[in-house]
Amino acid sequence: MSVTALATSSAAPPVAATARSRGYWSGVGRRILRDPLTMGCAGVLLLIAAAAVLAPWILPVDPYKTSMLHRLAPMGSAGYLLGADELGRDMAARLIHGGRLSLMLGVLPVVFAFVIGGSIGILAGFAGGWLNMVLMRSLDVFYAFPSVLLAVAISGALGSGMSNSIIALTVVFVPQISRVAESVTTQVRSLDYVEAARMSGASAFTIIRAHVLGNVMGPIFVYATGLVSVSLILGSGLSFLGLGVKPPEPEWGLMLTTLRSAIYVNPAVAALPGAMIFVTSMCFNLMADGIRSAMDTKA
């Protein structure tokens, strides 16, 4: 609500400015800033993302340009800092450019699933009763399949391609996020302050907006952050299986597939895309942990 701003400016005496305590989120921000591991991981991710976005300016080398002469060039050879792949394309350029698609595959499905699954879960949790039953039991159907298998099946049915992979991964994550959202909303709904809000005559929508959202977003957000690494790995897995991004696009999972055959010739270069996936998903996981503990602590 926007009432706070008005309060300090108009009605309250000047003391209010100093007496006003810092809010919950500024406390969370302060704790995250003091956590070196979380900040380090955030830095690495920022670096990878910035490199991906600014790829053409950082390394003005065409990631699609093949060269028969330099096939599987080892790391550190002239002009090929990180070596070259099986078609002689520059690995450094491909890894940096690959961050674009891979990060999109990691982040976008989670963002979509956060919005869709979060809405379904909060609705089900707040409504309770038969609506909760119908929504949650329908989503439980998706739990019948292991998530990898589900992603493979859906993108297999939709056909390969970036957008289909994103759709498939979104479908995989919606039930999981819904379940988390539903359980936290159910807890919050039964608290006395929600009853008190009902007593003041507020509509269900107003209660959700003013009292429920702020108290359930945190746990859902933390859970979703942890899913980014899963999405990244599943997305790369789809590309690896030939169901995701099509060659010759640079994408880490796809690069891992095509370099697979070169693992005995030049193992270091072949492992590079895997290392990128590992580092990125690790950073997302550690960051999710950091955010979780920053939010858990009572000030």
Partner 1 sequence: MSLIPHKPAADRGGPAQPLLIVGSLRKYFPIRGGLLGRGHGAVHAVDGVGFQLGKGEILGVVGESGCGKSTLARLLARLIEPDDGEVIFDGDGVGAADGIGVKELRRNLQLVFQDSFASLNPRMTVEDSVAFGPRIHGQSAADAIRVAHDMLARVGLEPSRFGGRYPHELSGGQRQRVNIARALVTRPRLVILDEAVSALDKSVQAQVLNLLLDLKEELNLTYIFISHDLNVVQYISDRVLVMYLGQVVEIGPVDCLYRDARHPYTRALLSAVPSMDPERRTRHSPLTGDPPNPVNPPPGCRFHQRCPHARTVCAAAVPKPVEVAPGHRAACFMANPASGYDSSPAEVGR
* Contacts to partner 1 by CB under 8 A: 1-4, 6-8, 10-13, 15-16, 19-21, 23-24, 191-193, 195-202, 206, 210-211, 214-215, 298-299
- Beta carbon nearer to partner 1, 97 or 211: 211
- Beta carbon nearer to partner 1, 31 or 70: 31
Evaluate whether 159 touches 167 at the Cβ level (below 8 Å): no
Nearest distance in Å: CB 39, partner 1: 25
CA distances for 157 relative to 105, 236, 244, angstroms: 18, 18, 12
Nearest distance in Å: CB 287, partner 1: 23
- C-alpha closest to that of 289 among 230, 223, 217: 223
Nearest distance in Å: CB 195, partner 1: 6
Nearest distance in Å: CB 196, partner 1: 6
CA 104/CA 170 separation, integer angstroms: 12
Per-residue HEC secondary structure of 88-128 comes to CCEHHHHHHHHHHHHHHHHHHHHHHHHHHHHHHHHHHHHHC
Nearest distance in Å: CB 152, partner 1: 34
- Beta carbon nearer to partner 1, 67 or 215: 215
Phi, psi (rounded to 5 degrees) for 80: -125, 85
CA 99/CA 94 separation, integer angstroms: 8
- Beta carbon nearer to partner 1, 37 or 133: 133
Nearest distance in Å: CB 123, partner 1: 20
- Beta carbon nearer to partner 1, 263 or 299: 299
CA 97/CA 282 separation, integer angstroms: 20
- Beta carbon nearer to partner 1, 214 or 247: 214
CA 42/CA 25 separation, integer angstroms: 18
